[in-house]
Amino acid sequence: MKKARPSAVIENKKARRNYEVSETLEAGIVLTGSEVKSLRSGRARLDDAYAVPAGSGLALINMQIDRYTHASVFNHEEKRSRELLLHKKEILQLKSQIQEKRMTVVPLKCYFNDRGRVKLLLGVARGKKQADKREDEKKKDAGREIARALKEHNKRS
């Protein structure tokens, strides 16, 4: 029987608010040892991160992985660009969406899969305008009000 590993999950909570995500896909990421250890302890942020075409692949920019305290001399830079691991077909598709359709590739979630590998859930997205954000907030509030009213109604019956 395999022992369950704790899978640290780092989510980009601002992504769904600031972007309209049309599709998602899973990608690997090239990391150093101290970065993996820091991720296992949940010390990373995806808030300002995004992917850009770099050479024959994609690179993740602005993902902050805090320094690992026990790494001493062999530590990593916190905000370096990191290469994403995708199939060639996926890379070509994403590059065309970025250049032609003016889409943005943002990380939605960073987690460890069942084999202990670090994976990123990427979203192909378009930026929302301020009015769209307000509209979404109104819909959320209306949904909460309806749920509250139904709960009260069911308590009385």
- Asked if the model's pLDDT at residue 6 lies above 60, the reply is no
Name residue 132's amino acid.
D
Q: Which domains does the chain have, with CATH numbers?
A: 10-127 (2.40.280.10)
Q: Which two tokens stand for residue 110?
A: 């960073």
**pLDDT tens per residue across span 42-99:** 888 999 999 999 988 999 999 998 888 887 777 888 888 999 999 999 999 999 999 8
% of the chain at pLDDT higher than 70: 95
pTM of model > 0.85: no
pLDDT for residue 123:
94
CA distances from 10 to 33, 35, 102, 155 (A): 18, 14, 26, 37
Residue 28 confidence (pLDDT) above 80: yes
Query: In whole angstroms, how large is the CA radius of gyration of the chain?
Result: 19
Instruction: Kindly report, residue by residue over 113-129, the tens digit of the pLDDT.
Output: 999 899 999 999 998 88
User: What sign has the CA pseudo-torsion 82, 88, 92, 97?
Assistant: negative
- The residues near 151 (Cβ < 8 Å, ≥ 6 apart) are none
pLDDT band at residue 143 under the 50/70/90 scheme: very high
